A = this chain, B = another copy of it.
Amino acid sequence: MVSKAPDSRSAQEIPEEIAGLRMTRQRQEIYRILIEQRNHPTANEVFMRAKDHLPNISLATVYNCLEAMVQHGIIRQVHFERESSRYCPNLREHGHFHDASTGVIHDVDFKPGVSLSDVLDLPPGAVIEDIEITLRGKIPTP
């Protein structure tokens, strides 16, 4: 017996610590869920998936873990109108396009070399700390 193989599912090894945040079992599982299926789930969707591997996890813990990871800059929150917050492990600066036909949320990158201040008439002296760009529309199938 060479390997302990504690869990055969793990295609991804999550470190014990990320960005100064201790990655507990719950946080690892939640982070794994976010990076393995990048479909911008809500806290409740994460909760339902997390129960497969951690049957005793609570929704409050899912909220706590997501919040901790957001605070440490490990993941980002995504908002559409006032719908439930969604979570995204993509740390590139990017926006989101919500396809109203399919429900799919696409990450939308900036074109290379463009900066928001080239495009927007910001108040003089404004220092931007956070950006959220959300688009809604359709992708017609020809």
Contact = CB atoms under 8 A, between A and B. Distances in A.
A49 interface: no
A130 B135 contact: yes
A108 B132 contact: no
Instruction: Report how many copies the assembly holds.
Output: 2
A61 to B, nearest CB: 20
A126 B114 contact: no
A81 to B, nearest CB: 6
A52 interface: no
A81 B99 CA distance: 20
Nearest to A124: B139
Rank and list the top 7 A-B pairs by shortest CB-CB distance, nearest first: A128-B137, A130-B136, A129-B137, A109-B121, A132-B134, A127-B137, A106-B123
